[in-house]
Amino acid sequence: MRSPKDFFRPLAVGAPTPVREVPFRPSRMIHFFDPGNEKMAAKIPAIAPTVDVLLGNLEDAVAADRKEAARAGLVAIAKATDFGNTQLWTRVNSLDSPWVLDDLITLVTEIGDKLDVIMVPKVEGAEDIHYVDRLLAQLEAKAGTERPILVHAILETPTGVANVEEIAGASPRMQGISLGPADLAASRRMKTTRVGGGHPGYLVREDPQGDAPRATYQQDLWHYTIARMVDACAAHGILPYYGPFGDIKDTVACEDQFRNAFLLGCVGAWSLHPVQIAIAKKVFSPAPADVAWARKVIAAMGDGTGAVMIDGKMQDDATYKQCQVVARLADELAA
């Protein structure tokens, strides 16, 4: 059996992150579906080729009396479907729930060789990841699966945020972390009742200038947590994601929220409805003009040291590395 460590590779020289990183697989949109919902399940073979990741959700949004049907539905869909290059993930129930043990045992035993990543909700510290890691190792050994299932944590409690660095580095199985803004808002006692996105009351007001009307600017509720999560993930060579955006009709704000996360370093977001698939694909793929500029700088910088002026802008070793991030993402997505 391959060890989880085999899944990491040394970084390219000059790359701006540390000693190991999760191998690249596109994951711009993690598309959630309810595997117990027969209507939704029937659409999975058609949706699979249009997304990077399909995620069979067993946790919140699946009612308590439908947990077993959802788990059984996921097993049936995974067995019956050829997902091609699309990854299959699941979100299991939380570690303090009565369902998670059966989720893990059933899924690894029945479809362990089809599952790429298990998303664990409400992770609070390294001990949660150690528990899942150990259990997965035992179940994989018993099932005789060929490759380790990776682990993705949702950051959605204040304790989890306080421990985000240790969570990111808790196991070589760690693939990434998503922001969970709804649970995080509740457990922090924030006063938003939305799933992600902004709030019109969270604003700054321009200082008074005589009697002129004073402009207000809405602020980003999630900036602090996303920035912490991105740093923790980059330091440990794993991938950060914005999570859900619940106002399906507000495609403009969804795109803005996804783009803010992309610009801060996130590689993808959850899609909760087919309309969000195209938004995530657009936002988390670097724009052609940005890629062209990055390649121009890289070409002009030769071995990547020194300084050059391009179109009046100073470029040096650091901007060369910034441009490598953009160009490399474009190459990886095109591969």
CB atoms under 10 Å from CB of 189, counted, come to: 7
- 198 part of the interface to ligand GLV, by CB under 6 A: no
Q: What count of residues does the chain have?
A: 335
Q: Which CB atom, from 221 or from 291, has the smaller least distance to ligand GLV?
A: 221
Q: Which CB atom, from 53 or from 329, has the smaller least distance to Mg ion?
A: 53
194 token code pair: 């939305």
Please enumerate in sequence order all residues whose Cβ is within 8 A of that of 304, keeping only pairs 6 or more positions apart, or say none: 14, 298, 317, 320, 321
304 token code pair: 């990547």
Q: Which CB atom, from 44 or from 154, has the smaller least distance to ligand GLV?
A: 154
Compute the least distance from the CB of residue 183 to ligand GLV, in Å: 3
Strand-pairing partners, residue 53, are 30, 87
Query: Whole-angstrom Cα distance, residue 301 to residue 118?
Result: 41
Q: Which CB atom, from 160 or from 181, has the smaller least distance to ligand GLV?
A: 181
Q: Which CB atom, from 4 or from 121, has the smaller least distance to Mg ion?
A: 121
Compute the least distance from the CB of residue 178 to ligand GLV, in Å: 8
Residue from 36, 160, 181, 198 binding ligand GLV (CB under 6 A): 181
Compute the least distance from the CB of residue 136 to Mg ion, in Å: 21
| Window 119 to 158, contacts with Mg ion (CB under 5 A) | 156
Could you tell me which stretch among 133-141, 162-170, 180-188, 275-283 binds Mg ion (CB under 5 A)? 180-188
Under 8 Å between Cβ of 136 and 100: no
E strand spans, the chain = 29-33, 53-57, 87-91, 117-120, 150-155, 174-179, 203-205, 216-218, 239-241, 269-271, 308-310, 313-315
- 279 part of the interface to ligand GLV, by CB under 6 A: no
Query: Whole-angstrom Cα distance, residue 38 to residue 313?
Result: 56
Residue whose C-alpha is closest to residue 200's, from 177, 180, 176, 217: 217
Q: Which CB atom, from 180 or from 240, has the smaller least distance to Mg ion?
A: 180
- 182 part of the interface to ligand GLV, by CB under 6 A: yes
Q: Which residues bind ligand GLV (CB under 6 A)?
A: 60, 154, 156, 180-183, 195, 243-244
Q: Which residues bind Mg ion (CB under 5 A)?
A: 156, 180, 183
